[in-house]
Amino acid sequence: MPSSPPSSPSSPSSRFTPAGLLRGPGRPAWLSPAVFRTEALAGLVVGLALIPEAISFSVIAGVDPKVGLFAACTMAMVLAFVGGRPAMISAATGAVALVIAPVVRQHGLGYLIATVILAGVFQIVLGALGVAKLMRFVPRSVMVGFVNALGILLFTAQIPNLRDVPWAVYPLVVGGLVLMVLFPRLTKAVPAPLVAIVILTVITVAAGIAVPTVGDKGKLPSSLPVPGLPDVPFTLHTLTVVAPYAFAMALVGLMESMMTAKLVDDLTDTPSDKSREAVGQGIANIVTGFFGGMGGCGMIGQTMINVKSGARTRLSTFLAGFFLLILCIVLGPVVSTIPMAALVAVMVLVSVGTFDWHSVKPTTLRRMPVGETAVMVITVIVVVATGNLSIGVVVGSLTAMVVFARRVAHLTGVTSVTDPDGTQVVYAVTGQLFFASSNDLVTRFDYANDPDKVVIDLSGTHVWDASSVAALDAIETKYAQRGKHVEIIGLNTSSARLHGELSGELTAGH
C-alpha cells in the first residue's frame, strides 16, 4: 500500500496547522488521491476494529455498549484536531475501563461521566505543567518490554473469542490470516485487513455459517449521542468521590498515550508534540464525558493497525471515529454480521507484527547487558500479570534506575599516592559521587596509617547529592579525630557550590 514517506521535523509533511490536516503553505497533506485513499481505507479498517474492542471495554466498565462506542467516536475525532501525534488512535481502553469500573458499580453512570470530565481537566493541567517530558526517563529496555508485552496482550485478548465456539471459527481465522499475508503480494492499494473482513463476512453470510458475530457482543446504538451534564449533585461530596478515580484515570491515560505516541514516533521516524498530546487527551475526555462516553486514551493495538496500513496524517484518526459513528448508526445491521473470526485474525496478525522478535533472538540476548535484559523481562512479566501497561512501565523504569545506579556506583574509583617524604598523601577519586556510590567511599581511606596531611582530589568526579557531601564530611571527621588535616581540591563549579552549601550542615547539632 502506498504511504507517505517518513518526514523530518523540518520537512513540509511534518508541519500541521491547529486543525491538524494542512502542510506547507495551506496545502492539505491528504490532497493527493493516493494519500487520501490510504488514509481513508486505514481509517475504515480501524473503525471496524474499534467496534468489538469498545463493546468489550464497556462490559468491563459495567456500562451499556453505546457508552464505549460513543467514547471511541468522540475521542478519535476530537484528537484529530487537538492531539499532538498524527495517525495515533485514541478510544475507550481496557486500562481506563478497569480504573473507572468501581465508580459505576458503587455510584452509577452519572458519577462515571463526572469522573471522565474531571480526569480530562486533570490531564490538561498535567499537560500544561509539562508532565509529558517525563517520557525521556523511560529507557529503551522498558520500551522494548512494553512493546513485547503489548504483543502478548493483543494475542491473549483474542483467546476468549476462540474458546467454546463452532468449529467453523478456526478455518475462518486461518483463512483470514492467509488472506492478509498473501493479498499484499497482489496489490497494496487496499488494506489486506479490510479485504479479509469483507471476504469472510460475505462467506459466512452467503453460506449461512453460524459463528459469533460483532452483533453478539452487544447492541449497536441507533441514534447520535446528545450532549448534556452528568446527572450528579454538584457538591463537595461528589468531588471527593470522583476525584481519586479521575486522577488515577488521568495518569493511566497519559501514560498509555505517551507510550503510544513514542512508539509511533519510532515507527514513522517523525516527531510528535507530547505536551500538546497530553492537553489534547484532556480536551477529548471532557468532550467525551459531555457526550456520555466512558473516556479513553491512546490505543496501541488500533494505532498499530492504522500506521501499518500506511496512515501518516490526522485524517485517518478523524475518519476512524467518523466511520465508526456511521458504521454503528447507519450500517449497524450490516456491521453486526461481521464474524468475530475476521477481527480476531486481524488482531492476531497485528500482535505478531507488534512483538519485537529481534529482541529475543539468542544473538541479541548474548550481546545485551544482563541488566538491560532483566529490565525488559520484568516489564513484560508485570504488564502481562497485571494486564496494565502503565504499571509495567512504572515498575520497569524503576528497575532500570536501580540497575543504572548499581552500575554507575561500581565505576567509582579511589587511588592514592604518598609523597616520598611521607608528609602528605593524595587520594584521586574518579567516577560519579551520589547516594549509591558515596556510601562505600568512606571505607576507601587508610585513616590510621596516613600522614598528617591528606589531599582528596575530586577533579575526576562530580558531586551530585547531599549523601556525597555527608560522606566527605564523615571522611574529614574521621581524619580530624586522629589529628589529621584534610584538603579537598578539584571540585567543579556545581560540585563546589553544593559542597559549600551543605558541608557541616548535615549532622545533628548544626
Angstrom distance (rounded) from CA 127 to CA 282:
8
The number of CA neighbours under 13 Å toward the Cβ of 147 is 24
C-alpha cell read off for 240: 471527593
Q: Is the pLDDT of residue 7 over 60?
A: no
Q: Is the pLDDT of residue 5 over 50?
A: no
pLDDT-derived band at 239, boundaries 50, 70, 90: very high
Angstrom distance (rounded) from CA 80 to CA 69:
17
pLDDT the model gives residue 462: 92
pTM confidence score: 0.69
pLDDT-derived band at 411, boundaries 50, 70, 90: low
Angstrom distance (rounded) from CA 51 to CA 341:
14
pLDDT digits (tens, 9 = 90+) for 248-268: 899 888 888 988 898 899 888
pLDDT the model gives residue 19: 38
C-alpha cell read off for 64: 451499556
- Rounded to the nearest integer, the mean pLDDT of the chain is 85
Q: Is the pLDDT of residue 223 over 50?
A: yes
Residue 495's H or E segment, with its range, is helix 493-502
pLDDT the model gives residue 225: 84
pLDDT digits (tens, 9 = 90+) for 389-400: 778 888 888 898
pLDDT the model gives residue 267: 85
* Of 294, 260, 262, the residue nearest 74 (C-alpha): 294
Task: Return all residues near 145 (Cβ < 8 A) that are at least 6 apart.
Answer: 375, 376, 377, 378, 379, 380, 383, 392, 396
pLDDT digits (tens, 9 = 90+) for 465-497: 898 999 999 999 999 999 999 999 999 999 999
- Using alpha carbons, list the distances in angstroms from residue 61 to 109, 123, 228, 312: 10, 21, 21, 31
pLDDT digits (tens, 9 = 90+) for 81-107: 999 999 999 998 877 887 888 898 899
Residue 429's H or E segment, with its range, is strand 424-433
C-alpha cell read off for 485: 588535616
Q: Is the pLDDT of residue 455 over 70?
A: yes
pLDDT digits (tens, 9 = 90+) for 284-339: 999 999 999 999 999 888 898 899 888 999 999 999 999 999 988 888 888 888 89
pLDDT the model gives residue 26: 56
C-alpha cell read off for 284: 477529548
Cross-strand bridge partners of residue 489:
457
End-to-end Cα spacing for the chain: 71
Angstrom distance (rounded) from CA 284 to CA 80:
10
pLDDT digits (tens, 9 = 90+) for 340-377: 898 888 878 878 877 888 888 898 888 888 888 999 99
Helical H segments across 83-220, by residue range: 94-107, 109-128, 140-156, 169-186, 192-207
* Of 397, 322, 377, the residue nearest 42 (C-alpha): 322
pLDDT-derived band at 20, boundaries 50, 70, 90: very low
Q: Is the pLDDT of residue 136 over 80?
A: no
